[in-house]
Homo-oligomer: A and B are copies of this chain.
Amino acid sequence: MTAKLASAKSLIDAANPLDPATLADLPPRERILIASRELFYQQGIHPVGVEAIAEAALTNKMTLYRHFKSKDELIVAHCTQLAAEGDAVWDRINADNPNDPEKRLTAWVNHVEDVVTNRFERGCALANAAVELQPHHPARVVIETYKARKRDQLVKLFRAAHYKKPEMTADEVFLLFEGARISIQCGGKQMALRVVKMLRDLLANAPRKTPVEKR
C-alpha cells in the first residue's frame, strides 16, 4: 500500500469498481460500463473481449449486446462516460470555489497532483483510447471534443484570473499535464510527479494584467 490514505479529499472514488458487492444492485448497462472502464483502462481496448467484459459485469454476452449494438458502440459509450466523468470533476472544482478563478486554478492543480500521484498508473484513459482507435472511429470525435473543451475551459479560467496570455498559458499547462500522463507509461513516473511543481511555478510566475496580492 504505497498510496497515502486520505492524503487529500479526492474527486474520484477509489473503491474497487469490480467488487461484486459494488455492482450487485446496479442495472446491467451500468455494470457493463463500469467493467469496460476498468478492463479497457488496465489492458487497453483491443485486447479485451466482450465476453470478458460481460463476465466482469456479472452478466453475459447476450445482455451486453441487448444494450450495445456492437463493441464499437460500447467503446463510444465508454469514451462518452469517461468524458462525462472528467467534466464532472471540473464542475465540482468550479462549484467548490464559486466565483474565484484563483482558487479554482489551485484546486485544479491539486487535482492534477492527485491524479499523477495516487491514481491512473496508465495515464489518461481517453488519450490511450485515441492511440488505440483509428482516426475514423466514431469514439475519436468524443475524445477530441472533450480535449478541446478542457483546453477551452483552461483558457477561460486563465482569462478570468487576468493572465496576460490566457491561451498561451492554458496551452502550456494543458500540454504539461498531457505530457506527464503519457510519460507515466513510459517510465517517467518521477518526472510526471515533478509536473506539479512546474504547474505551481507557472501559475505563480506567468505574467498577469494586474499583480496578485500575496496570500
Residue interface bits A112-153, CB-to-B below 8 A is 1, else 0: 000000000011001110111010000010011101100100
**Segment among A6-14, A31-39, A53-61, A172-180 that sits at the interface with chain B:** A172-180
- Within the assembled complex, what's the spacing in Å between the Cα atoms of A148 and B188? 7
Residue interface bits A191-215, CB-to-B below 8 A is 1, else 0: 1001101100000000000000000
Residues A175 and B186 in contact in the complex (CB < 8 Å), given A46-B47, A131-B128, A131-B131 = no
Of A131, A194, A195, most B-chain CB atoms within 10 Å: A131
The oligomer's copy count stands at 2
- Within the assembled complex, what's the spacing in Å between the Cα atoms of A171 and B178? 13
Which residue on B lies nearest to A140, using beta carbons?
B187
Please list the residues of chain A having a beta carbon within 8 angstroms of any beta carbon in chain B.
43-44, 46-47, 122-123, 126-128, 130-132, 134, 140, 143-145, 147-148, 151, 168, 171-172, 174-180, 182-183, 185-188, 191, 194-195, 197-198
